[in-house]
């Protein structure tokens, strides 16, 4: 049981990290100067 709880918390946190990485990729893609 404890394993699932820990895994759930880790999945949530690491998903947010992945989201941030995605935003950094978006910064790299949006580099055309207006």
Partner 1 sequence: VEALDRGHAAPGVTPEWRERLERHGLAPLTSTSRRYWIWIGLLLVVIGWGLFAYATQLANGLIVTGMRDRISWGVYIASFVFFIGISHAGTLLSAILRASKARWQLSITRMAELITVVALLVGALFPFIDMGRPDRILNLIWYGRWQSPLMWDILAISTYLTGSSLYLLLPLIPDFALARDRLGSNASRFRRSLFTMAAVGYHHTPAQRRALERAMTVMMIIIIPVAVSVHTVVSWIFAMTLRVPMNTTVFGPFFVAGAIYSGIAAIILLMAVLRRVLHLEEYITATQFKSLGYLLGAFTLIMLYFNLQEYLVHGYKLEAGMPFHFAQLMTGPFAPLFWFYILGSIILPGVIILHPRTRTIRGIVAAAILVLLGMWVERYLIVVSGFRVPLMPYAPSDYAPTWVEWSILGSAFALFALIISVFTKLFPVISIWEVAEHRGPEPAAPGPIPPTFAPPQIARILPLLVLLGSAAGLVLGGQAQADSREATRIAAAIPPQAALGQLIEAQARLVDSSGAPIAKAIVTFATPLSFLEGRSDVVLAEAVTDKGGVAKAEFEVRTSGALTIQRRLRGQ
Instruction: By CB under 8 A, name the binding residues for partner 1.
Output: 2-3, 6, 10, 13-14, 16-17, 19-21, 23-24, 26-28, 30-34
Q: What is the CB-side half-sphere exposure of residue 32 using CA atoms within 13 A? A: 1
Minimal distance, residue 15 CB to partner 1, in Å: 10
Minimal distance, residue 12 CB to partner 1, in Å: 9
Taking the C-alpha atoms of residue 5 and residue 8, their distance in angstroms, rounded to an integer, is: 5
């Amino acid at each position: 049981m404890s394993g699932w709880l820990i895994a759930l918390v880790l999945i949530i946190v690491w998903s947010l990290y992945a989201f941030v990485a995605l935003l950094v990729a978006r910064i790299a893609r949006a580099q055309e100067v207006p």
